[in-house]
Amino acid sequence: MPFKDFEMAAAGHTGIMTDEEESLFIKPVLKQEFDFYNTIKEETFKENSLLKNDAENRGVLPINEWIPKYIGSMSKTSNVSKEDVEKMGDLANMSIQPVYNNTNSTSEAQYIVLENLLNGYRTPNVMDIKLGKILYDESASVDKKNRLIKVSSETTSGSLGFRICGMKLANQCESNYDLFQPSEFCYNNMNTYISVNKTFGRRLKTPAEIRESLKLFFNNHLMGEEYTRSIIKMFNMRLESLIDTLENTKSKFISSSILLIFESNIDRIREHELDDDLIDTDFDILGYLEEICDEDQAMEIEGEVIDVEDIKRGISLSKLKLVDFGHSVIGKNTNIDVDKNTIDGLKVLKDIFQQLSNEF
Ligand SMILES: Nc1ncnc2c1ncn2[C@@H]1O[C@H](COP(=O)(O)OP(=O)(O)OP(=O)(O)O)[C@@H](O)[C@H]1O
Ligand SMILES: [Mg+2]
């Protein structure tokens, strides 16, 4: 199966790939990130939500609602076919399988295959916000630890508990990008997108500057203020709900991020009538859509005939997801508690979103 570079990463390292249909997100990872996804998959399979005590009864969302769908693993040279990936998808839904081959660790890079969170979007805007004041774990070398302590102390990571790491902005021409210094961003070849690099977020110091950046981000569309207001409100609710999840989940997310994603394509927003869910079901919807032929105008789901356009309208307009678990640990059987480092940052960000909400 041919792969190509994934060009919509808001932050992070190079080497990420996608398939021709851009339905997959394929990233080189180390064992810890596989362990993280495998633990969640195993527990979910055992119908254990990983939530504490009665949290589920109180309607707290389990952690798997906040992360990309886990499809499987591959190595670059293993020549995975489309069918293999589809099979992995089936297996991912069915049973537990150790996808990381530990004995292979000296040979080639292992890639994790995840749902591409942007699949179904036409012109998404994406922001990556790294969480936590503490950015290193026990595995870091002394040099790395000292470097990360310095980064934290000089940026909003230390003062607020989170930092904007990067953005992909649809070039809306009419938007004002004066907030960025020339070295902090660049246009893509086609001039359709702007990449804002990590130096921008490292320069910001105050909650007011964060607010301005979020305002620029959420205004980066041509739909008018009502849309801005409605997406900010959705993200505000999502942050509250995510905090609730993390306050009830034993976990440690060193250097993980939240991804904020929203549609800026006017046609799709209009078709949607601003209707959006707290948690998307995009992966399932796109799966249904792939099963049916282009010319089919209707399909039957559980005995009910549904118009294809109606199904497409179910794809979200915006979403918030947790990503990047290379230094994260989760599970009831670990000796960790809830992750104050991450929750504290999210609470400060939630306050900023509340202020932003009040402004619109
Ligand atoms: N499942 C996904 N679908 C679409 N985009 C994603 C997905 N996961 C991550 N991204 C995008 O890719 C970027 C990089 O991903 P991630 O943070 O997982 O890797 P990284 O920072 O390079 O990881 P590492 O530090 O382990 O090398 C994110 O900023 C985000 O924009
Ligand atoms: Mg990252």
Ligand showing the shortest atom-to-Cα distance for residue 196 = 1
* 72 close to ligand 1 (CB < 6 Angstrom): no
User: How many residues are listed for the chain in this entry?
Assistant: 360
pLDDT at 46 over 90: no
Instruction: Tell me which residue of 232, 216, 211, 209 sits closest to 169, measured CA to CA.
Output: 216
* 10 close to ligand 1 (CB < 6 Angstrom): yes
d(CA 108, CA 105) in angstroms, rounded, equals: 7
- Torsion angle of alpha carbons 315, 317, 318, 323, nearest 10°? 40
Which residue owns the Cα nearest ligand 1 atom 27?
13
d(CA 350, CA 162) in angstroms, rounded, equals: 11
Q: Are the C-beta atoms of residues 321 and 258 closer than 8 Å to each other?
A: yes
d(CA 138, CA 147) in angstroms, rounded, equals: 14
pLDDT at 250 over 60: yes
* 126 close to ligand 1 (CB < 6 Angstrom): yes
What letter would DSSP give residue 77? G
Q: What is the mean pLDDT of the chain?
A: 88
Which residues, 6+ apart, have CB-to-CB distance to 208 below 8 Å?
none
pLDDT greater at residue 38 or residue 272: 38
* 257 close to ligand 1 (CB < 6 Angstrom): yes
User: Stretch 124-145: mean pLDDT, rounded?
Assistant: 97
Q: Are the C-beta atoms of residues 157 and 133 closer than 8 Å to each other?
A: yes
Which residue owns the Cα nearest ligand 1 atom 20?
12
Q: Are the C-beta atoms of residues 105 and 31 closer than 8 Å to each other?
A: yes
pLDDT greater at residue 1 or residue 221: 221
Choosing from 121, 129, 259 the residue with most ligand 1 atoms within 8 A of its CB, the one to mutate for a pocket test is 259
- Please tell me whether residue 193 adopts helix, strand or coil conformation: strand
* 263 close to ligand 1 (CB < 6 Angstrom): no
pLDDT greater at residue 309 or residue 143: 143
d(CA 55, CA 16) in angstroms, rounded, equals: 36
Q: Which domains does the chain have, with CATH numbers?
A: 3-48+69-115 (no CATH), 124-261+322-359 (3.30.470.160), 266-312 (no CATH)
* 242 close to ligand 1 (CB < 6 Angstrom): no
User: pLDDT by residue (tens digit) across 188-230?
Assistant: 999 999 999 999 999 999 999 999 999 999 999 999 999 999 9
pLDDT at 90 over 50: no
